[in-house]
Structure 1
């Protein structure tokens, strides 16, 4: 009886001595590559706090990750997290000297990802030796992969929402995951349907979380030990889901396709947002993606055309003599026809124009479709052209004789 009162008094004394009783000599500030080896002397449980001071936010640190690795030999330890040593210490005393079951269901992670830009502290309460190692990953390729998947998912959402193969893959995947509800239904049939039992199930969420955590932590072990059962269960539920998807066919309603498209785009944006602890930069990437995605297609096509012209300018092609002559004849005939149409239209005042020219009869003949040149002008032009050609031939012949 006396020992009980002594233990009770000691518990009250310890609970009253909260943050002030803690020694800050047990706080370790770590940086990249630091390793701390803890070896207890008297096998007494002791709290050690390991903190990482965040660094300023720069754009080059957008995909940076900070990992705290814990190597414990017995897994007999308690883990506490907080933004400062005081917060970790407070959580430690609340869980240690209070009537709470949170300490029983506390999570333990061997690899803890910390925020690179904020101060983060991890407290470890153990009596066994362990090692803590801090590693800073300059460029985390998993974050880059998450960013790439988010961008591709957002851009390809419209095509995926109308793709039949994508519908079947999603249908089979959802069928396999939803088949677990059947197991939950059969398990619920085992429990007696009494109000007390429902109250226990409703209030015992901590136990459920603890069981789910154990299953999640030991998922690899379960798959390794019951590999054949897992494979057969997945194959059977996948076949059933495929049959149901084939029976009902892919989605054809436009509104349903729009809902699928918007859902994929939201998932893509969330993937981009959670691809970095630098939330401002992540939001900037999302804004840039939204603006570029909603740009008018005319602007995008014009920009591509301008860039193509700058990179590959069109080659200048010179005309030959025959092509130059044909082009001159064609353009001259076109211009004369346009002039003839204008003179025949109400826009042209023929009488006023007739007063300005000398030969009114020739003007009227041109409007009616006759040639704009007279026979004398044609003969004079041909004579001058032949004379020029003769002079050129004589000069060429003289040059040849001089060369000989």
Structure 2
């Protein structure tokens, strides 16, 4: 009797539900609005509840309520709970792709009454033409929200973003790089870049355009400086010790991994993990880099002792071995530094053509000293072969230059006589007037007034005689002409 009663109740509720659904669907225009869909489902459930109550009252007329079995009540409650699953509306097409403009903020406010899962919203930046003015330009998307209930999917176009999102929704997906939670994501400024966001909370998204990034320009300056000074740094002891300490810190971490692998009971299993687990290792390094500041704050004592002990040990080992003296070893270090410098220059700009040109320009500019030396040799040979006309000094310029050079030479002579390198006693034994030499060292003039007067008279007489000869020679030339 209870089974037939339940079937009669089921068919009655089904017919009434279909009639109510068609009437409500036509009124709400396929339930395009999420809030209208929620209200529609609530109205259908409420109406089915009233139908069930009415039918139960008619079916049990004249009977007490206790005659209804617990099985029938459970079936009725199950039908009421499953009724919203049969009443589903078709979701209308939405505009999923939004193109962002620098300086414009887009706000997303989800519907609190929606019973659907949050969908994928794609935001794209179309990019800008590459020019020399925006060579160091950077573009990033900043997400402003006060919650962590969001996932991000990056790609070059909306199709790639949807593909990453679909792969992440798969049941057997285990891609740790597919979804990342970052407040600020850097994009390609000269190509189209898209970012998909799935979030059930409110957030704001905007594009930050920096036309001249100092960090990118600093990479270029650092790369050029490192490339030009690689040869001197490869021969510098300070750089040798600093690099040795850094290498020691990294090597000790790898040695710890090898030591723990020795303690594992199954060495082939650990070896396979070390060989095939580079993806997880890279992911762990990325997490370590992102939480580096937190590690330094919470575990600063352990970090300090690690740096102190391992760094001191590395320094002692480098000090014991000493800097490399082989020319080839220094050249290998120089090539390594130059390779690092070229990498910094290549990644200083998103314009790969421009960055490649800068790399070639730096290489040519560094090794162009051979052609420059050849050009310098040709220039010197040409000047020796065809010397230019030189301007002779005047009498005043000659006397001024002689006075300056004489004072400079006397100053150097006094400094040498006062230095321990000069053996004063042996020098004074060779002089005819040692007192005059001592006074000269103390700052007295190197010639006497009588000597100056005699030199001036002799020089003036010779000058007068030369001027007379020049005048007679000029008169003879005039007569001959």
C-alpha distance in 1 between matches for 2:240 and 2:324: 8
Following superposition of structure 1 onto structure 2, how do residues 323-402 of structure 1 map, counting pairs within 5 Å? 385=472
Alignment RMSD:
3.5
Give the deviation of 1:72 after TM superposition: 3.3
Give the deviation of 1:317 after TM superposition: 5.8
Cα 1:56–1:319 change in 2 (3 A) is same
Following superposition of structure 1 onto structure 2, how do residues 43-58 of structure 1 map, counting pairs within 5 Å? 44-58=117-131
| Alignment counterpart, residue 36 of structure 1, candidates 106, 115, 140 | 106
Q: Which residue of 2 is the match for residue 193 of structure 1? A: 266
| Alignment counterpart, residue 142 of structure 1, candidates 211, 215, 225 | 215
Kindly indicate whether the alpha-carbon contact (under 8 Å) linking 1:96 and 1:103 is maintained by their aligned counterparts in 2.
Answer: no
Q: Does 1:93 align with 2:182?
A: no
Q: Which residue of 1 is the match for residue 373 of structure 2? A: 298
Q: Which residue of 1 is the match for residue 251 of structure 2? A: 178
Kindly indicate whether the alpha-carbon contact (under 8 Å) linking 2:136 and 2:349 is maintained by their aligned counterparts in 1.
Answer: yes
Kindly indicate whether the alpha-carbon contact (under 8 Å) linking 2:261 and 2:267 is maintained by their aligned counterparts in 1.
Answer: no
Give the deviation of 1:122 after TM superposition: 0.5
Kindly indicate whether the alpha-carbon contact (under 8 Å) linking 1:81 and 1:121 is maintained by their aligned counterparts in 2.
Answer: yes
Give the deviation of 1:171 after TM superposition: 0.7
Q: Structure 2: which 5+ residue stretches go unaligned?
A: 1-77, 79-84, 86-90, 381-388, 399-467, 477-481
Q: Which residue of 2 is the match for residue 249 of structure 1? A: 322
Kindly indicate whether the alpha-carbon contact (under 8 Å) linking 2:237 and 2:323 is maintained by their aligned counterparts in 1.
Answer: yes
Kindly indicate whether the alpha-carbon contact (under 8 Å) linking 1:88 and 1:123 is maintained by their aligned counterparts in 2.
Answer: yes
- Greater C-alpha radius of gyration: 2
C-alpha distance in 2 between matches for 1:260 and 1:67: 37
Q: Secondary structure at the match of 2:139?
A: strand
C-alpha distance in 2 between matches for 1:93 and 1:29: 21
Which 4+ residue blocks in structure 1 deviate beyond 6 angstroms?
299-305, 381-384
C-alpha distance in 2 between matches for 1:303 and 1:41: 81
C-alpha distance in 2 between matches for 1:22 and 1:87: 23
- Normalization by structure 2: what TM-score? 0.57
Cα 1:384–1:115 change in 2 (3 A) is closer
Q: Does 1:288 align with 2:375?
A: no
Deviations 1:18-60 (A, max 9, x none): xxx9956121111211212222113632211111011111111
Q: Secondary structure at the match of 1:122?
A: strand
Deviations 1:303-339 (A, max 9, x none): 999xxxxxxxx99665349x9xxxxxxxxxxxxxxxx
Following superposition of structure 1 onto structure 2, how do residues 105-184 of structure 1 map, counting pairs within 5 Å? 106-184=179-257
Cα 1:382–1:88 change in 2 (3 A) is closer
Q: Which residue of 1 is the match for residue 401 of structure 2? A: none
C-alpha distance in 2 between matches for 1:76 and 1:24: 22
C-alpha distance in 1 between matches for 2:99 and 2:470: 104
Cα 1:105–1:45 change in 2 (3 A) is same
Say which structure, 1 or 2, has more relative contact order (CA 8 Å, 6+ apart).
1
Give the deviation of 1:70 after TM superposition: 1.8
Q: Structure 1: which 5+ residue stretches go unaligned?
A: 4-9, 11-20, 306-313, 324-380, 390-404
Give the deviation of 1:216 after TM superposition: 2.7
Q: Secondary structure at the match of 1:179?
A: helix
Deviations 1:263-306 (A, max 9, x none): 1111111111100001111111122222221223436869999x
Q: Which residue of 2 is the match for residue 231 of structure 1? A: 304
